[in-house]
Amino acid sequence: MNADRKNTILIVDDEKNIRQSIAMVLDQENYHVIQAHDWMSAIRFVQEKVIDLLILDIKLGEVDGLTLFKKIQQMGYEIPTLFISGHASLSEAAQAVKIGGYDFIEKPFNSDKLIIVVQRCLAHFKMNTKIQILMKNKNWKDEIIGESPLIKQLLIKAEKVAQGSASVFVSGETGTGKELLSQFIHDKSMRVEEPFVKVNCSAIPENLIESELFGFEKGSFTGAMASKKGLFEIAHRGTLFLDEVADLSLNAQAKVLRFLQTGEIQKIGSEKSIKVDVRIISGTHKDLKKIIKDGLFREDLYYRLNVVPLQLPSLRERKEDIPLLIEFFNLKLSKKNNVKVKDIDIEVVEELKNYSWPGNIREIQNVVERMIVLSGNQITIADLPEDIQSLEMECLNTIESSMQPLRLRDFRDNAEKEFIINTLKKFNGNISKAAHELGVVRTYLHKRMKVLGIEKVLIIN
């Protein structure tokens, strides 16, 4: 089913002529209309289908519209509702809006007014849903930052993929930006005005993941006091991102597979299936093929999820993007921490470019924020986290030790030490000027001085 599927409107009225008149007007406006003549058929439709708007007569019969609306709310369904009536009192109309109805229209009403109110109601509910999702997704304004060939090629492919509805499988190390890439695909798709819903499968206990994804009916288990929509239903017509999908339980895997095969889900405790239109994007940092061999992940589900594979490069593979990322996080996180944007010494950037970044984008964001918070007016080499400085020094020593025979290394080190000392003396211990004379950056000169045991008393500035 396409993302531009018609909105489904349920009309509940015991007067057949009224129902058919409203249905005829709405059908001409390209809405999908369902009609119910009593409260029982209305409840059945609500349970079986995804209803975008409810048009409900207040004077309905043995169960009036207000009571039916409250019952639907108690069952856990949140459906935007327009109340209609030709005989309701002002107090009943006010009560309809007070308990959660969007508006009240008195019969008889002209078709133009009905259409306008329906459009406003649908637009209001869609915006409200989007705001709620954005509030939960606190990093919704983040972007995929990079100008390296790897990132440019990835984004071109992702934008092309976004135009369809095929399932996408995003792989990459922890912290490379799998959620951001999924959001990018959603934003470039025809579903951009619909929900983007994310779930971290590793963060939800195994005994709760099925109810979180698929919802449940009232009384289906202890503590189920009301029916609840699952994330599949919340993401209807939009995109559902299953992060760390490798951690899904086998039971949940079977239900996701069924959805991918049939387009239907089934709530816990219900025997009825619900048709939903959701695009699945999944991701993991784990080796899913190994997990399949271990019998912990279904191979048939993997092939359903992996229709279009996208591989996010690690930060080590696109070091040319590091200066851009540093500047991006400097601007963003300075504002977040309510401090002035700080200048960053070139030595700091060079040092961070040479770091291995096992935590990728997430780690560089944390490092930049730490330096912003703890530094003075300018971020210098001294503001680098100690673990990065010590790790880089250890790597440098290891590399040099392994590259040269002992005698050759000693000879070179002695010559280099004497050369550096003479240069420092020439500039009265000024490391910046000495580094410029030697054709290296300050951070490298600091490292060599430490490795070669050059005393710091030489430094005057």
Tens of each residue's pLDDT in the chain, 461 residues? 344 568 999 999 988 999 999 999 999 888 999 999 989 999 999 998 899 999 999 888 778 889 999 999 888 888 999 998 877 677 777 888 888 888 888 888 788 889 988 988 888 787 667 656 654 554 445 578 888 999 999 999 999 999 999 999 999 999 999 999 999 999 999 999 999 999 999 999 988 999 999 999 888 888 778 888 999 999 999 999 999 999 999 999 999 999 999 999 999 998 899 999 999 999 999 999 999 999 999 999 999 999 999 999 999 999 999 988 998 888 889 888 998 888 788 788 888 988 889 999 999 999 999 999 999 878 888 899 887 875 555 555 544 554 445 455 566 677 778 888 888 888 887 887 887 777 776 777 777 787 788 865 444 33
For CATH 3.40.50.300, the residue range(s) in the chain are: 149-311
In which residue ranges of the chain is CATH 3.40.50.2300 found?
8-135
CB 216 within 8 A of CB 268: yes
Whose tokens are 């359903």? That residue is 304
Q: Which amino acid is at 223?
A: G
Q: Is 98 exposed, middle or buried (0-12, 13-18, 19+ CB in 10 A)?
A: exposed
For tokens 């490379």, the residue is 176
Is 149-311 a domain of CATH 3.30.70.20?
A: no
Query: What distance in Å separates the CA atoms of residue 8 and residue 31, rounded to the nearest whole number?
Result: 6
Residue burial 354-388, b: 16+ Cβ < 10 Å; e: rest:
ebebebbbebbbebbbebbeebeeebebebbeeeb
**How many Å apart are CA 305 and CA 280, to the nearest integer?**
8
CATH superfamily, domain 8-135, is Response regulator (3.40.50.2300)
Global pTM reads 0.68
Q: Rounded to whole angstroms, what are the CA distances from 222 to 75, 210, 225, 228, 302?
A: 16, 15, 8, 14, 33
